[in-house]
Structure 1
Amino acid sequence: MQNIKSPSRLVGIGLYTPAEASLYTGIPSTDIRRWLFGYTTHDVQHPGLWNSELADVDECVLGFHDLLEIRFVHAFRQHGVSLQAIRSASQQAKEMFNQAYPFTCKRFQTDGRSIFATVLSETGDEALLDLVKRQYAFEQIIKPSLYEGIDYTGSGDAQRWYPVTRSKAIVLDPSRNFGKPVLTTVGIDTAAIFSAYKTEGQSTKRVALLYEIPTSSVAAAVRFEQSMAA
């Protein structure tokens, strides 16, 4: 990979392939690739919706903020909003909020409708009509659950994400393990724990002894990894 000469290059950024991003978000990797890295249709090249945090790397990889932002793109697409409209909304929100990743920004919950109203007038995207006219319709897409589990810095940037609902046992933090899922308290990679669990005959007690951690932590890591494989 170009320009990644040492692991320190990625500290605070995170590193995910589209396949890994798909595992953590439940969004198909083909969609993630289209949204972040563009696609060609009828001999026309369409660029990605924004430049990845790792755009200077000669690989299709995402940073931590890319990972969170695509969850919102997925929500828009589920409700029929066009990529053209999403691209326009992202650009306008960046300028309005002074945030590189505006959908993840909490302010989008309150000011997103006004941005989409402008986008509607520009694109004529009929899927935006309900979002602009009805607060309820907008709230069905920009749900509190999309923001749940995200810790923010004082300046409003997403800092870390706890992907399991109402639990802080597992965290994705770009300053730890390149943003891959770890046990929050001890920082051990959940994938490593799950691998040991399978090797040790699916014994949480053996793995707990091996890593010198509580069996409850092992169980949390195993549940998380199994949920992604389901």
Structure 2
Amino acid sequence: MRRSGARMDASLIGMGLYTPGEAGLLLGVAPGKIARWLRGHVANGKRHEPLWRPQIVLDGDIGLGFRDLMEVRVAASFIAQGLPPFRLRQAIVLARDAVGEDHPLSTRAFRTDGRSIFLQVAKHDGEAALIDLFSRQYAFRDVVERSLRHVDLDDTGRPALWWPLGRSRWVLVDPARSFGRPIEAETSIPVDALVRAVRAERSVEGAARAWNVPPRAVARALAFQGVMDERKAA
């Protein structure tokens, strides 16, 4: 989407912008699954509505904003624990009202009160397995904490920054910079720009000189890109 020449406007500044493919690579979630969650789909003659409304729609094509990325991370964790998507959809509807957010799963408030929301869903439908999964405090906390690892929340309890491979790898995603593309944290230069410089200069040292940055910054960008390339090849 970013590369297709789609028109950009001021409303997208600070929001981040990703195609399902780009989001899937960063998150380690199949792009097709992300697209189904955000577009909805038909299976066995039945229409399944989107889990939530995505932040961005350009020329009829769905894009993800940074908050969508964070919501997908949490949703994927719950579904991996065996929660059916239609039950997750019910929980999101309740959470929107309780938390007061269009993207409630990735907030500090949901981290605190989300367990009771899932219990409401479970008890309403009488599903013992769902009740068992989310009535145990440690089970719910483990799912949420793992899905929000390496996410920095702002003063309002909303996601502000994400370190996709952890802070020790020095690459972060900040929706306020470079349209949310991964950047090398020490220099704030997009990872893909540093990687292109290595290819052009044919060495880490040459790329570092070209950008006037420490070689370690270029090495970090290469290491991050290597992980992304492995995911793409898998």
| TM-score (norm. length: structure 2) | 0.88
Letter in 1 for 2:53: N
- 8 A contact 1:39–1:46 mirrored in 2: yes
Letter in 1 for 2:209: L
Q: Gaps spanning 5+ residues in structure 2: where?
A: none
Letter in 2 for 1:204: V
Letter in 2 for 1:135: Q
Which region of structure 1 is more displaced relative to structure 2, 116-125 or 11-20? Answer: 116-125
More helix by share: 2
Is 1:184 the equivalent of 2:182? no
CA distance in 1 between counterparts of 2:57 and 2:90 reads 20
Letter in 2 for 1:179: G
CA distance in 1 between counterparts of 2:187 and 2:133 reads 43
CA distance in 1 between counterparts of 2:70 and 2:211 reads 30
Q: Output one character per residue of 1:151-181: Cα deviation in whole Å (capped at 9) or x when no partner.
A: 2222222122122213372221111111111
Partner of 1:26: 28
Aligned-pair CA distance for 1:126: 4.6
Give the match's secondary structure for 2:102.
Answer: coil
Partner of 2:148: 147
Give the match's secondary structure for 2:75.
Answer: helix
Aligned-pair CA distance for 1:188: 1.5
Letter in 1 for 2:210: L
Give the match's secondary structure for 2:63.
Answer: coil
Letter in 2 for 1:191: D
CA distance in 2 between counterparts of 1:229 and 1:127 reads 38
| TM-score (norm. length: structure 1) | 0.90
* Structural RMSD (CA): 1.9
CA distance in 1 between counterparts of 2:129 and 2:73 reads 18
Aligned-pair CA distance for 1:196: 2.3
Partner of 1:173: 174
CA distance in 2 between counterparts of 1:214 and 1:181 reads 18
User: Structure 2 matches for 1:107-186, cutoff 5 A?
Assistant: 107-143=109-145, 145-167=146-168, 169-186=170-187
- 8 A contact 1:113–1:131 mirrored in 2: no
CA distance in 2 between counterparts of 1:94 and 1:167 reads 33
Is 1:99 the equivalent of 2:95? no
Which region of structure 1 is more displaced relative to structure 2, 146-155 or 64-73? Answer: 146-155
Partner of 1:81: 83
Structure 1 residues 7 and 187, CA gap change in structure 2 (3 angstroms):
farther
Give the match's secondary structure for 1:50.
Answer: coil
Out of 32, 36, 39, the residue aligned to residue 41 of structure 2 is 39
Letter in 1 for 2:216: S
Partner of 1:210: 210
Letter in 1 for 2:180: G
Aligned-pair CA distance for 1:182: 1.1
Deviant stretches of 4+, over 6 Å? none
Aligned-pair CA distance for 1:68: 0.8
Structure 1 residues 21 and 124, CA gap change in structure 2 (3 angstroms):
farther
Q: Output one character per residue of 1:40-61: Cα deviation in whole Å (capped at 9) or x when no partner.
A: 1122221211100114651121
Structure 1 residues 127 and 165, CA gap change in structure 2 (3 angstroms):
farther
Structure 1 residues 57 and 150, CA gap change in structure 2 (3 angstroms):
farther
Aligned-pair CA distance for 1:127: 4.2
- Identity over the aligned pairs, expressed in percent? 34
- 8 A contact 1:81–1:127 mirrored in 2: no
Partner of 2:65: 63
Partner of 2:227: 227
CA distance in 2 between counterparts of 1:118 and 1:56 reads 36
